[in-house]
Amino acid sequence: MKAPAWKWFIEYTHPTQAHMHGISKYIFSCRTKYQDVEFLEVEFYGRCLILDGKIQSALYDEYIYHETLIHPAMLLAGAPKKVLVLGGGEGAVLREILKHPGVERLVMVDIDREVVEMCAEYLPEWNAGAFQDPRVELVFCDAREYVKNTGETWDVVVMDLTEPVDDGPSYLMFTREFFRLLKGKMAPKGVLTLQAGSFNPWLLECHSAVYNTIKLAFGTLRSYYTFIPSFDVTWGFIVASDEKDPLALSPAEIDAALKERGIEGLRHYDGEAHRGMFALPKDIRALRDKEKRIIEDNNPLITF
């Protein structure tokens, strides 16, 4: 078979493994102070945001990632009024949070103003007007410094950050010291949610180490997951609090809560999907629990 005449974007997930995407349109690329940024369109998934060589979200399936990250925590928190987002440059996290009518204050802290501004220009569907919502405040600074200095407490904290590689802009946001600091800025019944790396059994080190580290600060936490087509892998998330367990929410309760809040049109998340997300396969549970590593400021996670 003759090779197709495409230019390829190649995303390396390991020195011996990569995913290839045929590029239909190259839009823009640059280097900000913090990271390499690319916007391009691929044949299967449409327009994509790529940071440091890794797809962060794609037009075709970004709703899967963002609905999965946001709605379990927002329902678990009851009726959250104040929400803090760390990262979230595309604005889709804000879009999903604002579907919950009780939200009164929503602060997004991102270190890279250039990325946020470029996402608003090149990916307007992602934020769907959320950047202009009067409840939203955008802050451009180091998120750890913001958490350290804020005098506010938060009902929900969302961490939508790049993976904690040792030379990336986010690596000090996944340490024991940071999670203990963050815990002190949350309401007593506050809920934390974050993306937490690949669920590929060969690449589970990141998720497992993050899980172990959060476990030192929060009384109840759960791993959960869903398949992201543009990532070409099952992706892991973590939700944590001191007393609320997402496994206690039945599918019927979730569907009733979404209806009560007037949240319609979700394409991926509902009560049945929730039940599946938190049902971890046996091999993943075993590998995660086998890992004992704790991430610390002076011992950051080093991944490919």
| pLDDT confidence tier of residue 261, bands split at 50, 70 and 90 | very high
* DSSP 8-state assignment for residue 229: G
The pLDDT assigned to 147 comes to 97
- Parallel, antiparallel or unpaired: strands 54-58 and 46-51: antiparallel
169 pLDDT tier (thresholds 50, 70, 90): low
Q: Which residues are tagged catalytic?
A: 160
- Model confidence over 197-255: pLDDT tens digits? 999 998 899 999 999 999 999 999 999 999 999 999 999 999 999 988 999 999 999 99
The Cα–Cα gap between 57 and 88 comes to: 11
- Give yes or no for residue 138 having a pLDDT over 90: yes
Q: Which residue intervals of 155-204 are DSSP H helices?
A: 176-183
pLDDT value at residue 25: 93
Q: What is the CA radius of gyration of the chain?
A: 18
Q: Are strands 36-42 and 17-31 parallel, antiparallel or unpaired?
A: antiparallel
Q: Under CATH, what is the fold of the domain 62-290?
A: Rossmann fold (3.40.50)
Q: Burial of 302 by CB count in 10 Å (0-12 exposed, 13-18 middle, 19+ buried)? A: exposed
3 to each of 12, 24, 25, 52, 229, how far by Cα in Å? 21, 16, 19, 27, 23
Residue 24: the pLDDT is 93
Q: What confidence score (pLDDT) does residue 3 get?
A: 56
Quick one: pLDDT at residue 300?
81
Q: What is the pLDDT of residue 249?
A: 92
How high does pLDDT run on average in the chain? 93
Report pLDDT for 2: 57
The pLDDT of residue 166 is 57
**Per-residue model confidence (pLDDT) at position 172:** 86
Q: What single-letter amino acid sits at 289?
A: D
Residue 212 phi/psi, 5° resolution? -60, -40
* Residue 168 confidence class, pLDDT cut points 50, 70, 90: low
pLDDT tens column, 92-136: 999 999 999 999 999 999 999 999 999 999 999 999 999 999 999
Name the residue among 144, 146, 198, 169 with its Cα closest to residue 37: 169
Confidence check: pLDDT of 153 > 80: yes
Q: What pTM, to 2 d.p., does this model score?
A: 0.94
> Domain extents for the chain?
7-58, 62-290
The CATH number of domain 7-58, selected from 3.30.450.20, 3.30.559.10, 2.30.140.10, 1.10.150.120 = 2.30.140.10
